[in-house]
Each structure stands twice: as C-alpha cells, then as structure tokens.
C-alpha cells in the first residue's frame, strides 16, 4: 500500500459529510488477565475488539442532527480506498463556534459490528 495525503480524504455516513477537515479511527482490543498463582509472568487472554471514529468538519447552516443514526461509515484515504465500519452509530455531535474562526462540528461514532473495520 502506498502512502497517501490527507487532502484526498472524505467521509460518508448514510450520505456524504460536507467540509471534512479530519477523521480518526481507533481500533482497540480488550484483554483479561489470566495469571494464576506460582507463575512469574503475567498472562492474558484476548477479549472483545472495539472500533470508534471521530470526524471533524466545518459546520454548515444546514447541518442535520445525526445522533442515534445507525448506518455504514466509510472513511476514505483517497478517491477509491476506504475503511468501512458497516454498522456505526453516531454517539455524539459537538458544535463549536469561535469568534476568530468558522464554526466546527465534531461527530463521534461507535462501531456496532462483529466484523470490525474492513479496508477496501
């Protein structure tokens, strides 16, 4: 896979999200400690996998509230390649206005999918 530049990124969540500034995807794996007495090293067992994403964009006057919406989230790295979270839920939407900048909106998503993110 070749490197890519952020300027080609985009996001869709049931429809295109306008004026994207950045997106972040985090995939984590839970672990449970399984150490028993008399061992000299800790041991662990892999648990559940979790995926979350955050999207920052310029706020638009026609922004719609996306909280609770459940849809496919596509996080593009360029014009044709993307990470897909086939079932994501918008868990938070934060609108920010600063007197010296344009308004910003940040969306937070939680993956609700047994497959996790898939790279296409």
| pLDDT averaged per 10 residues in sequence order, the chain, 120 residues | 81 87 93 90 90 93 78 92 93 93 94 85
CB proximity list for 11: less than 8 A, separation 6 or greater:
17, 20, 23, 55, 57, 73, 74, 75, 76
Instruction: Return the closest-CA partner of residue 106 out of 28, 16, 17.
Output: 17
User: What pLDDT score does 67 carry?
Assistant: 85
User: What pLDDT score does 120 carry?
Assistant: 92
User: What pLDDT score does 79 carry?
Assistant: 86
Predicted model pTM: 0.84
User: What pLDDT score does 2 carry?
Assistant: 74
User: What pLDDT score does 31 carry?
Assistant: 92
User: What pLDDT score does 63 carry?
Assistant: 65
Instruction: Return the closest-CA partner of residue 85 out of 31, 22, 15, 12.
Output: 12
Cα dihedral sign for 50, 22, 16, 78? negative
User: What pLDDT score does 1 carry?
Assistant: 59
């Amino acid at each position: 896979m070749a490197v890519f530049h952020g300027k080609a990124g985009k996001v869709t969540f049931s429809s295109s999200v306008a004026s994207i500034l950045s997106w972040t995807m985090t995939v984590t794996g839970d672990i449970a400690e399984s150490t028993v007495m008399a061992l000299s090293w800790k041991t662990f067992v892999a648990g559940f996998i979790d995926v979350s994403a955050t999207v920052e964009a310029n706020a638009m006057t026609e922004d719609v509230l996306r909280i609770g919406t459940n849809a496919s989230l596509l996080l593009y790295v360029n014009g044709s390649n993307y990470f897909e979270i086939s079932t994501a839920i918008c868990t938070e939407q934060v609108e920010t206005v600063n007197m010296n900048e344009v308004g910003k909106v940040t969306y937070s998503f939680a993956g609700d999918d047994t497959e996790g993110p898939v790279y296409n």
